[in-house]
Amino acid sequence: MPSPFPPLIVILPCLAFVVVFSACLYQFVALLILNYRIRPDHIQIVVFGLPVKHIKLQDITDIRKVPMGASNPWTTLSLHNRIFGQWLLIRRQRGVFRNVLITPAKPDEFIETVARNRRKSSPDHVLARDHATRNRDEILASTHCGCLYCTSVFTPSDVVDWVKDDKGETARFDLFVRNRTGLLHSATWRAARK
């Protein structure tokens, strides 16, 4: 007696077609549903053209490219709108989900724009702290450097002790920043100590 079900040779190609068609449909339709906008002080998550979530630029500790599926699904808010695209992982200081996964159309440009807007909207003491580690080359190329703790200004030759790691060298006892940042103002140093 013949089986009432179609043979496996018919089911597998149909199933493969459905999977490929669904992935392609998602790839193009999701772009119309979910998107991202970079604003001067935050990233907007937009659904059907309406902003539904924002991530403050000052809350971002790291933003980088990651391979697909590289993050933990239990601790990451996945807001990607492409299956086949470069994934970006945004790490935040606060929030229920400190990791947010997105897939912007131009990831390198997205990272660069976020970094540029973050620098523009950052208070001086935040910018100073960004230059406080792995800074030996910056310090040595400067005419002056400042201590974030005591707010004193020094010449690079005053820094004689360095801590080395795999990414660079940092002044050992105090956090120094280079003068090229334009942050050697006493008000900036007082704010940096807080």
pLDDT digits (tens, 9 = 90+) for 23-76: 877 777 777 788 899 998 899 999 988 999 889 988 888 899 988 777 676 778
pLDDT > 70: percent of the chain: 73
Per-residue pLDDT, 46 = 92
Residue 136 CA, chain-centre distance (Å), reads: 24
pLDDT more than 90, % of the chain: 12
Q: The CATH number of the domain where 60 resides is what?
A: 2.30.29.30
Residues 45 and 70 in one domain: yes
**pLDDT of 44:** 93
Is-contact 103 87, C-beta < 8 A? Answer: yes
CA–CA separation, 183 and 194 (whole Å): 15
User: Within this chain, do residues 37 and 105 fall inside the same structural domain, yes or no?
Assistant: yes
The answer to whether position 52 is within a domain reads yes
Which letter, b or e, does each residue of 62-76 get, where b requires 16 or more Cβ atoms within 10 Å of its Cβ?
Answer: ebeeeeeeebeeeeb
Instruction: Beginning with the edge strand found earlier in the chain, give each strand of the sheet holding 50-56 in spatial order.
Output: 34-38, 42-47, 50-56
Point out the domain boundary residue: 121, 149, 168.
121
Burial class (CB in 10 A: 0-12, 13-18, 19+), 4: exposed
Do 88 and 45 touch, CB atoms closer than 8 A? no
Mean pLDDT, residues 150-158: 76
Contacts of residue 12, Cβ cutoff 8 Å, sequence gap at least 6:
none
